[in-house]
Amino acid sequence: MPVRSIGALALAAALAMPTASLAFDESKYPDLKGQWTRAREPILGGGQAPFDPSKPTGRGQQAPLTPEYQAIYEANLADQATGGQGNWQGGKCYPVGVPGVMTLYRAMEIVITPATTYILIEHLHGTARRIYTDGRDWPKQIEPTFDGYSIGKWIDEDGDGKYDVLEVETRHLRGPRAYDPSGIPFHEDNKTIVKERLALDKRDRDLLYNQMTVIDNALTRPWTVLKKYRREPAVQPIWHEDICAEGQALIRVGKEEYFQSWDGYLMPIRKNQAPPDLRYFEPGK
């Protein structure tokens, strides 16, 4: 290729670079930089943070479950009362998935780009939610995931030329998942739809709201809750790394779970729990 042609291509590339950078006007978007954690409000009833932070944990959540799935939930609570994990898959190192991960058991970072907004959460596994804001439609074929497929839209609610609200819809979720550690179940068909509306408080710009609505066939009606997140004031916040397998004491053998003691032996987690099936081992002599 002639030298002059190479130079022309290089010049064209150089001219294109500033144009691409100017295409994204950061000032049009809300300032969501930094580290966000769950707003530290008292957990009614104790225990781990529930799906609806305004209500007590467990049955106090008053989840609008169908009779069939209420019975599943009750069986789950009975299992947990004897030491089992119930429907909560965290003990098995499964990802929490959407919507449960948005309770923020670990901190969140939000990264805004012209076509995609990323929500990054390090909990049980590295969650990287991709919220596509480029106007695309739902894909005709896609493999379901724990975090699902999310399409979003930025909205200028007050007409001042700046975006105030991010509306998100998430579909194509896989299971098993539960709303929170109490084991509130989703329908086994995994046709869950999760809608979110994220917006900063108009007076406190370090407070972020997430109005979340879940549509699921295990519910008698859509379930709407309001989650609140607080921006960490530290200039250089600490980002904790979660490796679920590290220090994991729960051991699953067949369909049963056991606890690994400090000296490396299996212990039961339920009263009168049978020992594991040793069919592939020769009986002791």
The model's pLDDT over 62-87, given as tens digits with 9 standing for 90+, comes to 999 999 999 999 999 999 998 888 88
Q: What is the mean predicted confidence (pLDDT) over 195-204?
A: 97
pTM equals: 0.83
The confidence score (pLDDT) of residue 56 equals 93
Q: What is the mean predicted confidence (pLDDT) over 162-186?
A: 96
Where do the structural domains in the chain lie, given as residue ranges? 36-231, 249-285
Map the chain to HEC letters: CCHHHHHHHHHHHHHHHHHHHHCCCHHHCCCCCCCEEECCCCCCCCCCCCCCCCCCCHHHHCCCECHHHHHHHHHHHHHHHCCCCCCCCHHHCCCCCCCHHHHCCCCEEEEECCCEEEEEEEECEEEEEEEECCCCCCCCCCCCECCCEEEEEEECCCCCCCCCEEEEEEECECCCCECCCCCCECCCCCCCEEEEEEEECCCCCCEEEEEEEEECCCECCCEEEEEEEEECCCCCCCCCCCCCCCCCCEEEECCEEEEECCCCCEECCCCCCCCCCCCCCCCCC
pLDDT score of 3 more than 70: no
Q: What percent of the chain has pLDDT over 90?
A: 60
pLDDT score of 25 more than 50: yes
pLDDT score of 152 more than 90: yes
